[in-house]
Amino acid sequence: MKKKKILLNAFSMNCVNHINHGLWTHPRDQSENYNDIAYWTDLAKLLERGKFDGLFLADIVGVYDVYQDSVDLTLRESIQLPVNDPMMLISAMAHVTEHLGFGVTANLSYEQPFLFARKLSTLDHLTKGRIGWNIVTGYLESAARAVGLSTQLDHDQRYDRADEFMEVVYKLWEGSWEDDAVLRDRKRRIYAQPDRVHKVDHRGDYYRVEAIHLSEPSLQRTPVLYQAGSSGRGQVFAGRHAECIFISSQTKEAARKLVTEARRSAVTQGREANDVKVFMGLTVVVAPTEKEAWDLFQEYTAYASPEAGLAHFSSGTGIDFSKYAMDEPIRAVKNNAIESLVKTVTNPELDWTKRKLLEQLALGGRYATIVGSPSQVADALEDWIRDTDIDGFNLTRTVSPESFEAFVDLVIPVLQQRGIYKTEYEDGSLRQKIFGCGNRLSAKHISAGYRAQVRERAAQDVAV
């Protein structure tokens, strides 16, 4: 049986620390240069040299203020604060690369769908179809207060609103301009054909939009859709919309379950099981030999901040871990969102304590970690793929950019020799590169129902 090729995103964020907290203090870490464009263009070129599928940029709106009921540690340790807008980085990186994809996280809860759709269309145009959008609905009370709300919508309502937001942007991206709307005919002086451009008229529970989409059709129209929801309602949303699903798990059993659920949810929504690609968050510490890798791991842990990782996790779960004694069982709150987060940090079958969490957070971050020589790392990646049916990885940074450099220089060649990683990029959009089925979303995806041509045909059918 032919082994599947591993998909690979680098995972980063427009800020100092991302997932592995505290490592900005390492003497070789350059992440405090996040405001230099060259930091990002150098990274993009490095990743393209390593044939990465994409750079996946996280984002957060709001601050982490649950731990110690304060934002103090967040500021001192720079736990994703300050954090700048990721979209502003894209055109510079797209200019110095040809194939690398860009997955940008954007919280739809505080965006106008009409203006948001234009932002993503602009980026899809400028990147020639290399843009993806990681759909998030947000979970921080501090974000709600920042935009003038006394509190956020409850969890399931946020997803109801998100479903409607998606409907609006599909109408704008897929339905407003027909494929042949733009002629660019200089002789006849016709840039676009008015009868091929349609006004969207959406009146829903959360949004009302009456407008022509401001952007002409881009290569992908709808960007590649990423999503990370692992709650029940989040999984339904992902099954309906997501093309790439981002999970994190400490155990293969839990990962396998998440993958199965993700594919099943897509099938339930009338799609194919392989219409979703699943990426797992992963931290890798690699060096030429196993011993050097463990030495490097030890060196990194001396700078990492498990407490900052815990503070980050406090906001994710809503539990202020500062209030717990080291060996006190943590059973405080139980709900789906928290349980799914707990899975990312520890084996959910075991009792968990702050001590165990901190051990798990030795590198300051909560993702599964592989330490070893290039072939050991390659073995481990193969095992994860084989045992869990995931499609690839979102690779975190530790010391930046050296952790990505090491992966590109040491691990990628091994994966290529084993025939489980591309040696050349395919042509075409990010969607075509990942799925090999064209630039547009498949006809089975919910967005297809909003295409202008489909709508026109449906109207004709009715008329006949």
Residues 92 to 111: which contact a copy of itself by CB under 8 A? 92-96, 110-111
Contacts (CB under 8 A) with a copy of itself, residues 243-302: none
Q: Is 2 in the site for a copy of itself (CB under 8 A)?
A: no
For a copy of itself, the closer of residues 81 and 153 by Cβ is: 81
Contacts of a copy of itself in 418-437 (CB under 8 A): none
Region from 82-90, 226-234, 375-383, 418-426 binding a copy of itself, contact rule CB under 8 A = 82-90
When binding is defined by CB under 8 A, the residue of 48, 53, 77, 243 that contacts a copy of itself is: 77
Query: Where do runs of H (alpha helix) occur along 135-280?
Result: 141-146, 155-170, 232-241, 252-268
Q: Which is nearer to a copy of itself, 123 or 345 (CB)?
A: 123
Query: How is residue 155 written in tokens?
Result: 């969890």
Q: Which is nearer to a copy of itself, 358 or 380 (CB)?
A: 358
- Residue from 45, 119, 356, 455 touching a copy of itself (CB under 8 A): that is 119
Window 349-408: residues binding a copy of itself (CB under 8 A): none
Stretch that binds a copy of itself, among 211-219, 229-237, 367-375, 450-458 (CB under 8 A): 211-219
Which residue's CB is nearer to a copy of itself, number 156 or number 185?
A: 185
The answer to whether the CB of 266 falls within 8 A of the CB of 274 is no
The values of phi and psi at residue 25, to 5°, are -85, -10
Q: Which residue among 3, 69, 85, 156 contacts a copy of itself (CB under 8 A)? A: 85
Does residue number 311 form part of the binding site for a copy of itself (CB under 8 A)?
no
Q: Which of 10, 13, 18, 22 binds a copy of itself (CB under 8 A)?
A: 22
Please, what is the minimum distance in Å from the beta carbon of residue 395 to a copy of itself?
23
DSSP reduced 3-state for 370: strand
For a copy of itself, the binding residue among 1, 2, 148, 151 (CB under 8 A) is: 148
Name which of 422 and 440 has its Cβ closer to a copy of itself. 440
Q: Which CA distances in Å does 52 have to 11, 43, 58, 287, 416? A: 11, 11, 17, 19, 12
Per rule CB under 8 A, count of chain residues that contact a copy of itself:
76
Q: Does 71 bind a copy of itself (CB under 8 A)?
A: yes
Tell me which of 4, 5, 37, 261 binds a copy of itself, using CB under 8 A.
37
Q: Is 126 in the site for a copy of itself (CB under 8 A)?
A: yes
Q: Is 215 or 222 the residue whose CB approaches a copy of itself more closely?
A: 215
Amino acid at 3: K
The rounded distance, in Å, linking the Cα atoms of 158 and 138 is 8
CA dist., res. 121 & res. 182, Å (int): 15
Q: Residues 253, 350: contact at Cβ < 8 Å?
A: no
Rounded Cα distance, 167 and 240, in Å: 11
167 near a copy of itself, judged by CB under 8 A = no
Number of CB atoms found within 10 A of residue 38's CB? 10
What string of DSSP letters covers 300-357? HHTT--HHHHHHHHHHHHT--GGGS-TTSB--S---HHHHHHHHHHS-TTS--BHHHH
Whether the link from the prior residue into 288 is cis, omega within 30° of 0, is no
- Cα distance between residue 343 and residue 261, in whole Å: 15
Distance (Å, rounded) from C-alpha 388 to C-alpha 390? 5
116 or 407, CB closer to a copy of itself?
116
